[in-house]
Amino acid sequence: MANTLGSVSNGKAIAQRALTTLVDSLPFLTKAVTDFSDVPARMNDTITTHLVTVGTAGAYSTTAGYVAQDRTQTDATISLSNLIHSTYAIRDDEKYSSSIDLINRFASSAAYALGKSMTDSLLGLVTSTYASTLTVAAGALSYRGVVSLGYSLDTNKVPSNDRYAIVSPDNKASLLNDSSIVANAQIQGDTVKTGSIGMVNGIEVFSYTALPSAVSKGFAAQKEALIVAARVPEALDNYPGSQDVVTDPSSGLSLAVREFVNPTLGTTNRSYILLFGVGRGSTSSLVRIV
């Protein structure tokens, strides 16, 4: 195996760059209910996170005052059943013979590998268990369609905050060709400039190129429809190299990074490691596009 490398930087710094790239590349991962932490865990440990039912407002009473109202919090238990990594080895001859920027070359590929694994596991849960659907012809999603998705969520009494949609590339293209979105005087020109759709009818729209077949056209959801939890694996005893944890400050997602040098083979070995689990939340909080 031969790699094309630049000068080798600190493994922790590279991991930090990889993590930032992961979160920036797949921002919808943080739109679900997330339970991210840098607390070490073991594979198949369970994490209990919570779904909070929206409360109601009450009128002030001149006799009873501010009466406390009941709130409902539902436990959601997630098993950390996925231990994934992105690992590469750098030979000494590669390390000392190239000026290619290692951080830019390898951090993005490491991030994509880890992020895609998380994303595919999470989106694999979007099946007929989520019974609400909206029928749209392939590549024909429009502003009116997004409005209909929002209406379906409203009908299901889903909170209006933290709504998002993940759509197929052809449906993204359809939205970008909809004059109600890109030619509206009320909308800034960033959509035209960057191809990022952003907020439509209170739903933040993203696109993903590898949606599973069960939801190949996309879906709209509120935050509590899907759940993802992540931890870092425990440090190994007597590990022959360095072991560090890096954390994305905006999302709280953490990666473990391990590095060791094999002096006999003349290789520097790096692993970016993530332990995660996914689960379904409120099944009324998601509408599949079919």
Reading the block at residue 222, the tokens are 């509120």
Q: How confident is the model at residue 83 (pLDDT cuts 50, 70, 90)?
A: very high
Q: How confident is the model at residue 85 (pLDDT cuts 50, 70, 90)?
A: very high
Mean pLDDT of the chain: 84
CB atoms within 10 A of CB 197: 22
Reading the block at residue 268, the tokens are 């520097």
Is the pLDDT at 191 greater than 70? The verdict is no
Is the pLDDT at 279 greater than 60? The verdict is yes
Q: Which residues of 153-176 are buried (b: 16+ CB within 10 A; e: fewer)?
A: beebebbeebbbbbbbeebbebbe
Q: Is 69 exposed, middle or buried (0-12, 13-18, 19+ CB in 10 A)?
A: exposed
Average pLDDT over residues 94-99: 73
pLDDT in tens, 148-185: 999 999 999 999 999 999 999 999 999 999 988 876 65
What's the pLDDT at 20?
A: 83
The Cα 198–Cα 146 span in angstroms is: 12
Q: What is the pTM of this model?
A: 0.81
Q: How confident is the model at residue 142 (pLDDT cuts 50, 70, 90)?
A: very high
SS (H, E, C) 165-217: EEECHHHHHHHHCCHHHHCCCCCCCHHHHHCCCEEECCEEEEECCCCCHHHCC
Rg (CA), the chain: 22
